[in-house]
Chain A
C-alpha cells in the first residue's frame, strides 16, 4: 500500500496533537546530577536552609538505592547524568496574576485547550500551571484565600507556609520510599500545594496542568494536598509533552493527607507523549502517588485515565489508617503501539471498619503491554476491613499483552477481600450487532471500549470526562483492523 508522506504525517499528528514545542526562552542548568546540582536548584528557588538539607538527605539516600527491576516493563538503562534537572521559562520573576505571564506561554496553553482566562470565566476551575520545572501561574488564588483555601505552587508554599510543608511533606511518601521518590525528593523543582482548612468545602475544582517543553529535561514535580477535618476538595491533573525522539523522564511524587471526615478526590488524565508508532521517544512516567486517610471517616478517591507515556509505572495508593475510612481507585489504562504500562494501586487497611474499592480497566492494542499490579493488605488490627477489586482487560490485537498481578495479604479474621479479573477480546457478536446497524468497525470498537471504560469515566468530573473520552478515541485511532 502506497501512502503519500503528507498523509502519513497527518496521521501521526492526529495521534498526538499536543506534540508541538513552544518557542520560549528557557533558563536551563547544565546536565548532570550531583550535590552541586541540588544546591543550584535550591538556590535558584531561593529556598530556606531546611529545604536544602532535606533534599541533600534524600539525595544521599538515593545514591544508596538501586533502580527497581520488578515492574513488568522493559527499557534501556537511564543515564541520570544525561538529564537536565532544572528548566524554567524566562523571565523568572514572581507573577502576581496570569495576565503578566508571557503571551507565548498563554498561547501554548490555549493550544492545549486550557485557556487560563477562559477556564476562569466559564468553568470556574482554579488552575495551577507547571511548565518544565516551575509553576507559571495560578488562577483564582484570591477568591480561594478568602475562604482559607491555600492553592499555590509548592515553591511558594515553601516560602510562605513553611510550617505546613515541614509538617506534611514526606509524611506520606518518605523521602527514601523508593528509587524514583528519592530522586524526586532530591531534585523536585515545583508542583502544587493545596490546603483546605477545617470544615471548608472547596467551592471549585482545583486543577494543575503539567507540561514538559524543554529538550533533555526531566520533570520532577511534587504535589501535596492536605484536607483538614470535615474538608472536601476535588483536584484534577493533566499533562502533555512535545514529540521528541529521545525518552524523557518524569518522576513525580503526590502526597494526600485526609484528616477526620475529610474527603479528597484526585483525578488524573495522563497524556504525556507516548512515543511514535515504532516506540521511538516518549515519556517515562515513574510516579509515586499515595494518600493517607489519617482521620476517622475520611475518604480518598483516585481516578486515573492513562493514555500517554512510553512507560507508565504508577500505583496510586491509600493508607486507611483512620477507622471507617474509605479508599477508592478507578483506572482506565489504554496502551497502543509500543507503550508499556505497569499500574495499579495499594490499599493498606490499618483501621477498623475500613473499606476499599478497586476498579481497573486495561485496554491493550498494537504491540503494547498493559499490567495491573495491586496490593490489598488487611493488617491484624483492621477488623471488618472490606475490599472489592475488579480488573478487566480488553485485548485489541494479537501482538499485545494484558497481565494481572494482584497481591492479597490478609491477617485479620473478620476481613473480607474479593478480587476478580477477566481478560477477553471484543465479542464478535457485539461487533456484528453494531455493524449490522451501519456503524463502521472503528466506531463500533470505540463505542464498545467506551462502554467498557464507563464505570471509571463516570467518576471523573464532567469537564474531564469529556476530554478523557476524546483522548481515548484519539489513542485508539488505527488500532482496529
Chain B
C-alpha cells in the first residue's frame, strides 16, 4: 500500500515555519493538486508503462539537512569542472557552501529560489515558476510543487562565450531511503549562452528517489545546451522533469544519457513559444540489469516557422525496460512547422522490453512532420563482415553498439564532457 500521509506533515511544517509569499502560495496550490490527483498509477495513459507507485510503498526520509564530505564531492566532479560553475544539491536542497561560482556577476547570478521570489526577481519568478504544471498534470509534479524548499534560481546574462554550469545532485542514502525534490528556475536572458550539465549520484545503499522539476526560460537570441547524465546505482530512482520554454527566437540543444539506475522517468518538454525557434533533442539509453528508463518527451510547436529535430536511441539488455513516449504537437497557429522525430531501439534479450509510443498531434495544415520508430537487432551482415576479419563475436558486437551510440555522443558539444561520456559508455558496454 502506498504511504503518502507524511507528505502532509512536511507540507504543513513548511507552510508554518517558512516565509509566506509567492512560493508558499504555489506550495498550497501544489498540495491541493496533489491531494486531488494522488500518485500516478499505470492506469494513467501517461504512466502506462511505468508503474511508479511501487516506489511509494516505503516511507522516505524527507530531511534535507544531510551534509557530505568534501572528498565525496571531489569523487564525482565532472571533467572540465575547473572552468565551470559548480552547483550542488544535497537531498534536493541547494547548498551554496559546496557550490563554486567562477563566472562574474555580469554573466551569471545564482541565488536560492526563495530569495529570488522575494527580491528583484519577484515578477520573473511569479511569471515563470511552475509553468510546467500546465503540461505535466500528475501527482508527482504537484508533489514537487507542494514541497518546494531550498530551490535554486539562475539568471544567465548576455555574453559572447557560453557560461558553463555543472549541477551535481547528491542523494545521501546511507541512513535510509531518501526522497529529494530539487526545484530550479533558470532564466537565460536575451543573448545569453548557457551550457548546463546535470549529473546524479546516490551515496549509501538505501533506496533514493529524486523527484526533480527544472524549468528553463529562454529569451530572444539566447543559446542553451543542456546535458543530462544519469549513471547512478541500481537503487536510485528518478522522476526528472525538464521544462524548457523558448519565449523568444532562440536555439536549444539537449542531450540526455541514461546508463544505470532503478526506475527512471524523464519528462523532457520543449515549448516553442516564439516564431523561428530551432530546437534539437537527443537521447541515448543503454540499459542492463533491471534498470527501467522511461523517456517522455514533448515538443509543443505554438508559433509559426519553427524547426525541431529529435533523435532517441536505445539498447535494452538483460531484463531492462526502455520506454520511449515522444509527442509532437503542432498548434493551429504554428504554420510552416518542420518537426522530425526518430526513435531507434535494439533489443538484446528476451527478458528485456521495449515500449515505444511516438505521437504526432497536428492542428495546422502547412507543416512537414514525420516520425519513425524501429525495434530490431544488430545487423547480421555487419557482424559477419567484422568476424570475417578476425574480430571476436563479443568485440564485434561492442563495436557495432558503440557505433549505434556514437550518433548521440557526437551531439555533446563540450569536448571534455563528450570524452567522459564515451568512456562511461565503453565501460558500460564492455562489461
- Return the CB mask of A398-431 against B: 1 if under 8 Å, else 0: 1111111111111111111111111111000000
Contacts of A421 in B (CB 8 A): 358, 360, 370-372
Q: Any chain B CB within 8 A of the CB of A75?
A: no
Contacts of B425 in A (CB 8 A): none
- Indicate if the CB atoms of B359 and A405 lie closer than 8 Å: yes
- Return the CB mask of B365-385 against A: 1 if under 8 Å, else 0: 111111111111100000000
- Indicate if the CB atoms of A406 and B358 lie closer than 8 Å: yes
- Indicate if the CB atoms of A417 and B370 lie closer than 8 Å: no
A418–B350 alpha-carbon span in the complex (Å): 18
- Indicate if the CB atoms of B374 and A419 lie closer than 8 Å: yes
- Return the CB mask of B345-360 against A: 1 if under 8 Å, else 0: 1011110111111111
Contacts of B360 in A (CB 8 A): 393, 402-404, 421, 423
- Indicate if the CB atoms of B366 and A398 lie closer than 8 Å: yes
Contacts of A403 in B (CB 8 A): 359-362
Contacts of A396 in B (CB 8 A): 365
CB distance from A380 to the nearest CB of B (A): 6
A406–B349 alpha-carbon span in the complex (Å): 23
A419–B358 alpha-carbon span in the complex (Å): 9
Given the known inter-chain contacts A419-B374, A420-B371, A424-B367, please indicate yes or no for A401 contacting B362, CB distance below 8 A: yes
CB distance from A122 to the nearest CB of B (A): 42
CB distance from A318 to the nearest CB of B (A): 19
Q: Any chain A CB within 8 A of the CB of B335?
A: yes
CB distance from B396 to the nearest CB of A (A): 17
Q: Any chain B CB within 8 A of the CB of A70?
A: yes
A378–B353 alpha-carbon span in the complex (Å): 10
Q: Any chain A CB within 8 A of the CB of B176?
A: no
A424–B372 alpha-carbon span in the complex (Å): 15
- Return the CB mask of A60-74 against B: 1 if under 8 Å, else 0: 000000000010000
A409–B353 alpha-carbon span in the complex (Å): 7
- Indicate if the CB atoms of A409 and B355 lie closer than 8 Å: yes
Q: Which residue of B lies closest to A426 (CB)?
A: B365
Find A420's partner among B348, B355, B363, B370 (CB 8 Å cutoff). B370
Contacts of B79 in A (CB 8 A): none
Q: Any chain A CB within 8 A of the CB of B45?
A: yes
Q: Any chain B CB within 8 A of the CB of A279?
A: no
A416–B364 alpha-carbon span in the complex (Å): 33
Q: Any chain A CB within 8 A of the CB of B332?
A: yes
- Contacting B at CB under 8 A, from A182-208, are none
- Indicate if the CB atoms of B356 and A413 lie closer than 8 Å: no
Q: Any chain B CB within 8 A of the CB of A397?
A: yes
Q: Which residue of A lies closest to B353 (CB)?
A: A411
Find B355's partner among A405, A407, A414 (CB 8 Å cutoff). A407
A54–B394 alpha-carbon span in the complex (Å): 57
- Indicate if the CB atoms of A420 and B350 lie closer than 8 Å: no
Q: Which residue of B lies closest to A420 (CB)?
A: B372
A378–B355 alpha-carbon span in the complex (Å): 10
- Return the CB mask of B99-127 against A: 1 if under 8 Å, else 0: 00000000000000000000000000000
- Indicate if the CB atoms of B347 and A412 lie closer than 8 Å: yes
Contacts of B366 in A (CB 8 A): 398, 425
Contacts of A397 in B (CB 8 A): 365
- Indicate if the CB atoms of A417 and B374 lie closer than 8 Å: yes
Q: Which residue of B lies closest to A423 (CB)?
A: B369
- How many residues of B are counted as interface, with CB atoms below 8 angstroms from the partner's CB atoms? 34
CB distance from A83 to the nearest CB of B (A): 29
Q: Any chain B CB within 8 A of the CB of A395?
A: yes
CB distance from B42 to the nearest CB of A (A): 13
Given the known inter-chain contacts A408-B373, A423-B360, please indicate yes or no for A413 contacting B355, CB distance below 8 A: no
- Indicate if the CB atoms of B364 and A420 lie closer than 8 Å: no
Q: Which residue of A lies closest to B342 (CB)?
A: A420
- Indicate if the CB atoms of A407 and B371 lie closer than 8 Å: no
Given the known inter-chain contacts A418-B373, A420-B373, please indicate yes or no for A412 contacting B357, CB distance below 8 A: no
Q: Which residue of B lies closest to A409 (CB)?
A: B355
A378–B363 alpha-carbon span in the complex (Å): 32
CB distance from A192 to the nearest CB of B (A): 35
Contacts of B371 in A (CB 8 A): 404, 419-421
Contacts of A414 in B (CB 8 A): 377
- Indicate if the CB atoms of B365 and A413 lie closer than 8 Å: no
CB distance from A239 to the nearest CB of B (A): 29
- Indicate if the CB atoms of B365 and A398 lie closer than 8 Å: yes
Contacts of B347 in A (CB 8 A): 410-413, 415
Contacts of A424 in B (CB 8 A): 367-369
- Indicate if the CB atoms of B374 and A395 lie closer than 8 Å: no
CB distance from B112 to the nearest CB of A (A): 42
Contacts of B377 in A (CB 8 A): 413-414, 416
- Indicate if the CB atoms of B373 and A419 lie closer than 8 Å: yes
Q: Which residue of B lies closest to A70 (CB)?
A: B45
A400–B363 alpha-carbon span in the complex (Å): 6
Find B357's partner among A393, A395, A405, A410 (CB 8 Å cutoff). A405
Q: Can you list the 4 inter-chain pairs with the closest CB atoms, starting with the nearest?
A: A395-B365, A408-B356, A417-B375, A404-B360
Residues of B within 8 A of A (CB): 45, 332, 335, 345, 347-350, 352-377
20 A-B pairs within 8 Å (CB atoms) are namely A398-B364, A398-B365, A398-B366, A400-B363, A400-B365, A403-B360, A409-B354, A410-B347, A411-B350, A412-B350, A413-B347, A414-B377, A417-B376, A419-B356, A419-B372, A419-B373, A421-B358, A422-B369, A423-B370, A424-B368
**Other contacts beyond A395-B365, A416-B374, A419-B358: 11, CB < 8 A:** A398-B364, A400-B363, A406-B356, A409-B354, A410-B355, A416-B375, A417-B373, A419-B373, A421-B358, A422-B370, A424-B369
